[in-house]
Amino acid sequence: MVLKKKKDPNTNIKPEVDPKDVVVWDEYTNLNDGMRHPMNNMIADKMARDLIAWSKNDDYENDKEALNIYDFLCDHGILLTTFYKWIEKHEGLREANRYALNKIAARRERGATKKRYDASSVYRMQGHYDPEYKKQMEWQAKLRAQENKEANEQKIVVIERYPETDKVPKK
> Does the pLDDT at position 117 exceed 60?
yes
Distance CA 107, CA 124 (A): 15
Cβ atoms of residues 26 and 86 within 8 Å? yes
Write down the pLDDT at residue 13.
58
Looking at this protein, which amino acid is placed at residue 81? T
91-113 and 41-55 helices, crossing angle to 10°: 10
77 Rama sector, left if φ>0, alpha if ψ -120 to 50, beta otherwise:
left
Cβ atoms of residues 42 and 23 within 8 Å? no
Helices in the chain by DSSP H: which ranges?
A: 19-22, 41-55, 69-75, 80-89, 91-113, 119-129, 131-152
Write down the pLDDT at residue 90.
95
Looking at this protein, which amino acid is placed at residue 3? L
Q: What is the DSSP letter of 16?
A: P
26-29/36-39 β-pairing:
antiparallel
Distances, alpha carbon 46 to alpha carbons 40, 76, 151, 153, in Å: 10, 12, 55, 57
Looking at this protein, which amino acid is placed at residue 162? Y
Write down the pLDDT at residue 1.
45
**Gyration radius of the chain over CA positions:** 31
pLDDT, averaged across the chain = 82
> Does the pLDDT at position 168 exceed 80?
no
Q: Using one digit for the tens of pLDDT, what is the confidence trace for 30-68?
A: 999 999 999 999 999 999 999 999 999 877 766 678 888
Which of the two residues, 140 and 34, has the higher pLDDT score? 34
